[in-house]
Amino acid sequence: MPNPERKLALTNLGIAYTAFIVGTLCGLLQVFIRNDALQLPAWLDYYQILTAHGVLLALIFTTFFIFGFFQSGMSRTLGAFGPKVVFWNWVGLIITATGTVMATVMIVSGEASVLYTFYAPMMANGFFYVGLALFVVGTWVQSFALAGHYLVWRKENKGEKSPLFAYMTVATIILWIIACLGVVAAVLFQFIPWAFGWKESINVELSRSLFWYFGHPLVYFWLLPAYIGWYVIVPKIIGGKVFSDSLARLSFILFILFSIPVGFHHQLTEPGIASFWKFLQTILTFMVIVPSLMTAFSMFAVFETRGRELGGKGLFGWFRKLPWKDVRFTSIFIAMLFFIPGGAGGIINASFQMNEVIHNTLWVVGHFHITVGTPVAMTFFGITFWLIPFLTKRVFTKALQRLALIQIITWSIGMVLMSTAQHVLGLFGAPRRTAYTGYQHEDALAWFEGIISNHVTMAVGGSILFLSASLLIFIVVQLAWFAPMAESATQETFPIAESDARETPGILENWKVWIGVALVLIAVAYTIPVADMIQHAPPGSGGFRTW
Ligand code: HEM
Ligand SMILES: [Cu+2]
């Protein structure tokens, strides 16, 4: 791979892992503060740390990692970038980084403790929102640069289907751009004028709905790149092939269609949205189970086929034949296992009535640590183990591989402890996003008398997690600067599985059709309720600083 792409991708990954270590340190502080084991100095606030944790991990770590992964994969599968593609990727990266710095400075200086969902009427310093806007615009520029590279390839290869990696990248980019329209509208037309004092009040309901129009597909923006790892990378690592090219492409299309018109499932307890629209969006939410199970099915089909090729006999003999010692595979396999309870929990969250039980409790925190915090994050770790050495032309040595295995195992143990405790505490009723847990009340104190739900489990889990995160950073630094140089850097160390696209229907790559269908679904799910929110808007709210 040419050096410009290597530099681009490494810069993105470097920023991602810087955000990662600071973000996980905040996580460590949180578990101790919540348990009253740590008192913060007067100049530091729990909600400031929690905002940093959410923004650094859920927005910054994920996004920078994803673009680094996309840039390297697009160059690997479609060929070297032209000078324009390289230039615009840099422009986008610099804008994204500028936005990141701006938002981070605001959080650190205590001007924006509004949590990563920045719900109105809490009001941060206007420059926090400007930072967010720049962040999104920068990702768009990088997205358009990658889409441009893809379009050039298609022009030069008329009639051919694009490589699966590139196809999936374009699908993810389309999802991201459509999703961001909501948050960009809210930030530009509502938050910025309001925070700078040009407008006195904000339509709270509308701002939250625009946020969640973005916030739900955001989780698919994290998940789809992980799925690229599952569909395209893992089969090659274990020596197999993509199970079905058309199934893989169809599942990505379905994710675009069913992940956007569903944001109301985060607002089920909010007044001001008629239950009919909540119900409609709940049904659309459940449609996403279809491509999710398609993904699970095809992954296990790949595993079983390969295990049998390697001589596995009987019902489960193939399972033992899989290359468990290869941490590039084991990491992602464990990530998939975490997604089973993660996905099941998601169905509970999205269910109209059951949401009532878990809404805003620690259950939700338990949920997203076994969805984005492990299946997505650990897939990214697994990709990091070969991607950084590929980019730096170094060797992922045996010693580092052993450390990586320890890292994966400790992350899993820490997460099982922390997330199970959070799920259980949430069922008892413990709220999320609070700096304290006891409320000086015996009922609340009784939550912590269980084996899992005591004060210690979450803190022990969180501490193991932070140790694991530090170990990961040690491995990343070794792979970036200190591991021995490879004698010959081959494309092979960037695993891309063979995928037979001959039978794949051409319509799956007709983006106009799918963007059209997505927009129709969005219009059906949102037009009337959003028009309602604007037409029958209450007086609106001024800004509040709750910290
Ligand atoms: C060392 C590892 C980690 C620890 C100890 C940790 C701990 C926590 C805790 C205790 C909370 C809940 C705080 C509260 O509601 O009061 C939380 C929230 C959160 N965590 Fe983590 N976490 C870790 C890693 C991650 C990772 C890797 C991600 C995502 C990639 C993540 C994403 C989030 C998000 C989005 C929130 C919600 C923030 C909010 O409510 O505004 N965490 N974390
Ligand atoms: Cu959602």
Q: Is the pLDDT of residue 488 over 80?
A: no
Q: Is 297 a catalytic residue?
A: no
Instruction: Tell me the Ramachandran region of residue 542: left when phi exceeds 0, alpha when psi lies from -120 to 50, beta otherwise.
Output: beta
Q: Which pLDDT score, from 0 to 100, does residue 491 have? A: 65
- Judged by its nearest atom, the ligand closest to the C-alpha of residue 220 is 2
Regarding the beta carbon of 396 and ligand 1, being less than 6 Å apart is answered no
Q: Is 433 a catalytic residue?
A: yes
Q: Does residue 372 sit in helix, strand or coil?
A: helix
- Residue with CA at minimum distance from ligand 1 atom 3: 27
**What would the pLDDT profile of 234-253 be if each residue is shown by its tens digit?**
999 999 999 999 999 999 99
Instruction: Tell me the Ramachandran region of residue 461: left when phi exceeds 0, alpha when psi lies from -120 to 50, beta otherwise.
Output: alpha
Regarding the beta carbon of 366 and ligand 1, being less than 6 Å apart is answered no
Q: Which pLDDT score, from 0 to 100, does residue 91 have? A: 98
Q: Report, as an integer, the average pLDDT of 134-144.
A: 98
Regarding the beta carbon of 28 and ligand 1, being less than 6 Å apart is answered yes
CA of 22 to the centre of ligand 2 (A): 26
121 cis-preceded (ω within 30 degrees of 0): yes
CA of 365 to the centre of ligand 1 (A): 7
- Residue with CA at minimum distance from ligand 1 atom 36: 54
Residue 480 to residue 177: CA distance in whole angstroms: 31
Regarding the beta carbon of 373 and ligand 1, being less than 6 Å apart is answered yes
Q: Is 220 a catalytic residue?
A: yes
**What would the pLDDT profile of 353-383 be if each residue is shown by its tens digit?**
999 999 999 999 999 999 999 999 999 999 9
Query: Residue 331 burial (CB < 10 Å; 0-12/13-18/19+)?
Result: buried
* Annotated catalytic residue, options 249, 306, 328, 369: 369
| pLDDT band per the 50, 70, 90 thresholds, residue 171 | very high
Asked if 137 contacts 188 with a C-beta cutoff of 8 angstroms, the reply is no
User: Which chain residues have CB less than 5 Å from ligand 2, an ion?
Assistant: 216
User: CA–CA distance from 52 to each of 60, 67, 467 (Å)?
Assistant: 10, 21, 19
Tell me which of 57, 63, 221 to substitute to probe ligand 1's pocket, judged by most ligand atoms within 8 Å of the beta carbon: 57
Regarding the beta carbon of 433 and ligand 1, being less than 6 Å apart is answered yes
Q: Which pLDDT score, from 0 to 100, does residue 408 have? A: 98
Q: Report, as an integer, the average pLDDT of 108-130.
A: 97
| pLDDT band per the 50, 70, 90 thresholds, residue 385 | very high
Residue 415 to residue 461: CA distance in whole angstroms: 6
Backbone angles phi, psi at 361, to 5 degrees: -100, 175
- Judged by its nearest atom, the ligand closest to the C-alpha of residue 215 is 2
- Residue with CA at minimum distance from ligand 1 atom 13: 433
CA angle 356, 361, 364 (to 5 degrees): 90
Asked if 497 contacts 236 with a C-beta cutoff of 8 angstroms, the reply is yes
CA of 52 to the centre of ligand 1 (A): 10
Give the distance between the most distant pair of CA atoms in the chain.
Answer: 71
Cα-to-chain-centroid distance, residue 194 = 29
CA of 28 to the centre of ligand 2 (A): 26
CA of 27 to the centre of ligand 1 (A): 6
Asked if 285 contacts 265 with a C-beta cutoff of 8 angstroms, the reply is yes
- Judged by its nearest atom, the ligand closest to the C-alpha of residue 268 is 2
Regarding the beta carbon of 419 and ligand 1, being less than 6 Å apart is answered no
**What would the pLDDT profile of 42-71 be if each residue is shown by its tens digit?**
889 999 999 999 999 999 999 999 999 999
- Residue with CA at minimum distance from ligand 1 atom 35: 54
Q: Is 369 a catalytic residue?
A: yes
| pLDDT band per the 50, 70, 90 thresholds, residue 452 | confident
Q: Is 432 a catalytic residue?
A: yes
Residue 8 to residue 284: CA distance in whole angstroms: 38
* Annotated catalytic residue, options 149, 216, 249, 394: 216
Give the residue from 419, 512, 411, 521 showing the smallest Cα distance to 466. 411
- Residue with CA at minimum distance from ligand 1 atom 14: 433
| pLDDT band per the 50, 70, 90 thresholds, residue 528 | very high
Q: Is 216 a catalytic residue?
A: yes
Regarding the beta carbon of 50 and ligand 1, being less than 6 Å apart is answered yes
**What would the pLDDT profile of 292-348 be if each residue is shown by its tens digit?**
999 999 999 999 999 999 999 999 999 999 999 999 999 999 999 999 999 999 999
* Annotated catalytic residue, options 167, 220, 385, 526: 220
| pLDDT band per the 50, 70, 90 thresholds, residue 37 | confident
CA of 156 to the centre of ligand 2 (A): 39
CA of 416 to the centre of ligand 1 (A): 14
Beta bridge partners of 485: 394
CA of 264 to the centre of ligand 2 (A): 8
Asked if 102 contacts 131 with a C-beta cutoff of 8 angstroms, the reply is yes
Q: Which pLDDT score, from 0 to 100, does residue 489 have? A: 63
Asked if 224 contacts 482 with a C-beta cutoff of 8 angstroms, the reply is no
| pLDDT band per the 50, 70, 90 thresholds, residue 450 | confident
Regarding the beta carbon of 372 and ligand 1, being less than 6 Å apart is answered yes
Give the residue from 136, 12, 127, 108 showing the smallest Cα distance to 51. 108
- Residue with CA at minimum distance from ligand 1 atom 6: 27
**What ligand 1 atom has the least distance to the C-alpha of 28?**
5
| pLDDT band per the 50, 70, 90 thresholds, residue 1 | confident
- Judged by its nearest atom, the ligand closest to the C-alpha of residue 265 is 2
Q: Is 441 a catalytic residue?
A: no
Give the residue from 380, 372, 371, 401 showing the smallest Cα distance to 233. 380
**What ligand 1 atom has the least distance to the C-alpha of 115?**
41
